[in-house]
Amino acid sequence: MIELRRLTKRYGDSVVVRELSLSVAKGELLVLLGGSGSGKTTTLKMVNRLIPPSSGEVRIDGASTDGLEGHVLRRKIGYVFQKIGLFPHMTVADNVATPLSLAGWGEERTTARVTEMLEMVDLEPSIAQRFPRELSGGQAQRVGFARALAAEPKLMLLDEPFGALDPVTRDKLQQEFLAIRRRLELTAVFVTHDMVEALLIADRIAVLKEGVLVQVGTPRELLDSPADEYVERLLEMPRRQARTVAELIAGPPDEPAATREAQGGGAPP
Ligand SMILES: Nc1ncnc2c1ncn2[C@@H]1O[C@H](COP(=O)(O)OP(=O)(O)OP(=O)(O)O)[C@@H](O)[C@H]1O
Ligand SMILES: [Mg+2]
């Protein structure tokens, strides 16, 4: 569905994405993971031509996007980007409705859909008539996510779509997203720097380091055979956290009775 062939982006002398080759199958969720500045956003924006590649090619559905106008391409692809926010002069409802009017939906159907989408991302109906400046960061992010999904695109690009959310909302939206993408057979590239999030949602994870692809594989493959020390290090934190949490949940090991006696503890309640 998406194929990157030796995709490269240079700014002056610095190469920020280097000869990246990668393909994403229909219905697959590929996570692009890497530290800050590793080229994730740049890669994603080259897919829908918000950034023109310096060299290499992006193919979508078997056809090169070289000759395509960026806006034509972007109409087919849903996207949520880190900094490209909502249209500031439009209400929340109008923001979410934008892809629907572009797709020619009628008024009634659009209104119903907007309500449904806002509900899905846990936003109060009263928020629909507010403007983006009147929202919190997490609320704005949810509106962006609702807008990207509203017209049920077949292809989606998401750049840290849940970065500003509290853990409970984040978990809910991750689950929601997984359900939606199965239902729609959505093909998606999802950027995050959070390895836990990647392990939880990815079919495959592509690890970028300084613009170079260091490994691509299923979460299992990464855990079983990390390609290098960098990938190993990225996995260290989720491993340690998982162990600590598992231990806490399991509770303290049984103390021998003699120890309790000696501490004057007696029988537990
Ligand atoms: N217009 C530009 N001119 C020069 N350098 C740029 C430009 N845009 C991005 N860069 C550089 O390219 C590199 C990759 O940037 P990019 O935004 O793709 O990183 P990222 O992986 O998305 O990072 P983050 O996790 O912080 O969002 C960075 O070093 C950045 O400074
Ligand atoms: Mg980025």
Q: Could you tell me which residues are beta bridge partners of residue 155?
A: 77, 187
Residue nearest ligand 1's atom 25 by CA: 36
Q: Among 8, 33, 40, 50, which is best to mutate for testing ligand 1, by the most ligand atoms less than 8 A from CB? A: 40
Give the pocket of ligand 1 (CB within 6 Å): 11, 16, 34, 36-42, 82, 193
Whether the CB-CB separation of 78 and 155 falls below 8 Å is answered with: yes
Residues 99-116, mean pLDDT to the nearest whole number: 92
Residue nearest ligand 1's atom 6 by CA: 11
CA 130, 135, 136: angle at the middle one, nearest 5? 165
Q: Which of 61-75, 201-215, 241-255 has the highest mean pLDDT?
A: 201-215
Residues 236-258, mean pLDDT to the nearest whole number: 84
Q: Which of 9-13, 46-50, 135-139 has the highest mean pLDDT?
A: 9-13
From 115, 160, 155, select the one nearest 141 (Cα to Cα): 160
For residue 154, the CA-to-ligand 1 centroid distance in Å is: 27
* Token pair for 40: 């994730």
Given strand 187-192, what is the order of strands in its sheet? 77-80, 155-159, 187-192, 29-33, 204-209, 212-217
Among the bound ligands, name the one nearest to the CA of residue 10. 1
Cβ partners under 8 Å of residue 78, min gap 6: 99, 148, 149, 151, 153, 155, 156, 157
Whether the CB-CB separation of 256 and 241 falls below 8 Å is answered with: no
The predicted structure's pLDDT at residue 172: 86
Q: Which atom of ligand 1 is nearest to the CA of 42?
A: 18
pLDDT, tens digit, for every residue of 166-216? 888 888 888 888 988 888 889 999 999 889 889 989 999 999 999 999 999
Residue nearest ligand 1's atom 3 by CA: 11
* 92-102 helix and 107-120 helix, angle to the nearest 10 degrees: 130
Q: Which atom of ligand 1 is nearest to the CA of 39?
A: 18
pTM: 0.86
Reply yes or no on whether the pLDDT at 255 is more than 90.
no
Residues 37-58, mean pLDDT to the nearest whole number: 94
The predicted structure's pLDDT at residue 83: 67
Among the bound ligands, name the one nearest to the CA of residue 37. 1
CATH of 2-85+154-262, one of 1.10.150.120, 3.90.550.10, 3.40.50.300, 3.50.50.60: 3.40.50.300
The more confident residue out of 266 and 47 is 47
